[in-house]
């Protein structure tokens, strides 16, 4: 069933969808919007937006100050259940801390969610992007090293379906921005076992990533190291950082096999 046909069915709860849309109206650029701003960003009428905001306020997820609204810490409960069930992060924590110490750069773990990757664990050493990255942060999968190692695990049919839903954007002059170019890059990633992204998301960023596989062979997450760009950074990433990254990858996958961990949700189908 397609998204459009489901929205026309009796099972679709429009008020719930609208409430979630209102929650997503709060972001880094608009942390404390007014009623008018929420209505404009969600495409809802002021009357509908007002009722949803007041309901969320009654439930404790939203607060108000004057004419502005803000999210309360209670919204963290919505994501905590997912993170607490994803005990993969517990298995990876120590290996990632050792990796960050060894290479002197920040490392991260992410999963694939539709068109984006979502950060589920991060060990920062320094800030290398203009956007602050933390648990829950999202980046476009097609332009991120972690996204590419996860996309490279999709079958041709799955990848074709994923590509049909994408809108490519040039974040920098170096960004791969066509389906054909991305498919060629994913073939290279699949063959070499890692993805190297140089100045495609931001001019000053270089990152390298490897996939994390569960015991059944599925890619369930990705692990990367990000660093400031320099002329030497790509060579350093492959020659010096990749061996350490692969050791962390092996340690995490061994821990996964040792405890028999399997994802509660098949991440390779998260784009559907």
pLDDT digits (tens, 9 = 90+) for 181-202: 999 999 999 999 999 999 999 9
| pLDDT reported for residue 86 | 57
Same domain, 99 and 13: no
Q: Based on the structure, what is the number of domains in the chain?
A: 2
Q: What's the whole-number mean pLDDT along residues 171-180?
A: 94
Q: What's the whole-number mean pLDDT along residues 98-120?
A: 93
Q: Which residue has the higher pLDDT, 134 or 244?
A: 244
Q: Is the pLDDT of residue 161 over 70?
A: yes
Phi, psi of 5 (to 5 degrees): -65, -35
Instruction: Examine the fold and report which residue of 52, 75, 98 is the final residue of a domain before the chain moves on.
Output: 75
Same domain, 10 and 112: no
Same domain, 128 and 220: yes
Q: Is the pLDDT of residue 266 over 80?
A: no
**pLDDT confidence tier of residue 137, bands split at 50, 70 and 90:** confident
Comparing CA positions, the residue from 211, 212, 218 lying closest to residue 192 is: 211
User: What range defines the domain where residue 114 resides?
Assistant: 86-269
Same domain, 93 and 68: no
Q: How many CB atoms are located within 10 Å of the residue 183 CB?
A: 15
- 3-state helix, strand and coil shares in percent for the chain, rounded to the nearest 5: 45, 20, 35
Same domain, 125 and 43: no
| pLDDT reported for residue 182 | 96
Q: What's the whole-number mean pLDDT along residues 65-79?
A: 85
| pLDDT reported for residue 88 | 82
Q: Is the pLDDT of residue 93 over 70?
A: yes
Same domain, 61 and 144: no
Q: What's the whole-number mean pLDDT along residues 25-44?
A: 90
Residue 81 lies in a domain: no
Q: Is the pLDDT of residue 4 over 70?
A: no
**Strand 205-213 versus strand 195-198 pairing type:** antiparallel
Same domain, 63 and 123: no
Q: Is the pLDDT of residue 22 over 70?
A: yes
Burial class (CB in 10 A: 0-12, 13-18, 19+), 83: middle
Q: Which residue has the higher pLDDT, 136 or 207?
A: 207
Asked if 198 and 206 touch (Cβ cutoff 8 Å), the reply is: yes
Asked if 113 and 104 touch (Cβ cutoff 8 Å), the reply is: no
Same domain, 69 and 90: no
């Amino acid at each position: 069933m397609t998204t459009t046909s489901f929205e026309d069915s009796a099972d679709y709860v429009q008020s719930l969808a609208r409430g979630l849309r209102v929650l997503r109206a709060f972001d880094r650029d608009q942390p404390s919007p007014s009623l008018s701003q929420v209505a404009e960003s969600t495409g809802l009428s002021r009357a509908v937006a007002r009722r949803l905001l007041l309901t969320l306020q009654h439930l404790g997820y939203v607060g108000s100050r004057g004419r502005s609204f803000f999210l309360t810490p209670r919204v963290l409960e919505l994501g905590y259940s997912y993170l607490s069930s994803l005990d993969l992060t517990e298995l990876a924590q120590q290996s990632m801390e050792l990796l960050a110490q060894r290479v002197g750069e920040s490392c991260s773990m992410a999963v694939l969610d539709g068109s984006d990757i979502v950060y589920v664990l991060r060990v920062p050493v320094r800030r290398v992007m203009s956007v602050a990255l933390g648990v829950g942060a999202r980046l476009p999968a097609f332009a991120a090293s972690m996204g590419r190692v996860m996309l490279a695990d999709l079958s041709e049919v799955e990848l074709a379906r994923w590509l049909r839903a994408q809108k490519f954007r040039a974040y920098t002059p170096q960004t791969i921005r066509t389906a054909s170019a991305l498919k060629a890059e994913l073939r290279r990633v699949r063959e070499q076992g890692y993805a190297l992204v140089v100045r495609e998301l931001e001019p000053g960023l270089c990152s390298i990533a490897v996939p994390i596989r569960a015991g059944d062979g599925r890619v369930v997450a990705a692990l990367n190291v990000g660093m400031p760009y320099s002329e030497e950074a790509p060579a350093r990433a492959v020659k010096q950082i990749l061996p350490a990254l692969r050791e962390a990858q092996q340690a995490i996958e061994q821990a996964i096999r040792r405890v028999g961990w399997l994802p509660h949700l098949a991440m390779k189908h998260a784009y559907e």
